[in-house]
Structure 1
Amino acid sequence: MSDHSQILVISSEHTLLGTHRGTVRVTSGGTLCLEGTLKGTLDIQIGATVRINGQQQGTVAIAARASVTVFGAIQGTTSLERGASLTIEPSGKLAGTLVNYGLVVVRGVFGGAQSGNGTIRLEGDGYIKKPTSIKDGAHYYEW
């Protein structure tokens, strides 16, 4: 199990196993396959590609012309710029705040607050989870 507390920059093809603590930056032309757990920031720059089979716990920033496909789970704030895309596959889950100026395709489940003027497209059995309760303006979800 790898356990790091530093910035990991990915500029080619890379698979991340185990646990990484800190920031992972995927640069243009880079491809990341997250098989383990990332506890920190995932910074996906223009033209990069990410596949999340494991768990992302923290902030995800997706730049224009970058794409992310989720078979596992994202827990945290996810931001998409114009021209960015995020696909939540049937086994995938997006739990947290979504700031969307790109395209989000939900084939799995999304639950959380939303802002931005991007597109959310539900496909297949994809759905947006409703909060189980709202207390003092905070939304609570049961997964």
Structure 2
Amino acid sequence: MKCWAWEECEAFTFSYGQGCVLLTDKLTDVQHDKQESNFATSGPKYCTSDGQRSTEGGREELTGGCIARGCHYYATPVDVISLGSVATPFRCQALCQQYEACIVFSYDYSTQLCTLHATEEKKTTGVTPHQLCGPR
């Protein structure tokens, strides 16, 4: 069942170990078990953004409706959040929303590096699948 199809669902978490878990409360924290949450992703019932569209090469795909896999922004960052301190791309997106200058973000699952950017320029697609990017 998809989260948007179940009235009581508020959010979801997907991990390779447990599959998709539908949540009735948005305040679920996966940071407590970083080892198992490295390749987990969480998101809201609905995405308020149009998200990223696939581009030439076809390697970019939608993740959670808002965040694209296989892309990265290389524009000068507004801020870089330390390696290993941001557990999911959705946390990175939330950090971007806290910075007025942040328009888009890049996230790397392998290093848990979150990079915030003030412009959508210098976007690269077709990079490794553990690199993601998305809107504020």
Q: TM-score higher than 0.5 here?
A: no
- TM-score using structure 2 length: 0.29
Query: Which structure carries more relative contact order (alpha carbon 8 Å, separation 6+)?
Result: 2
Structure showing the higher strand proportion among its residues:
1
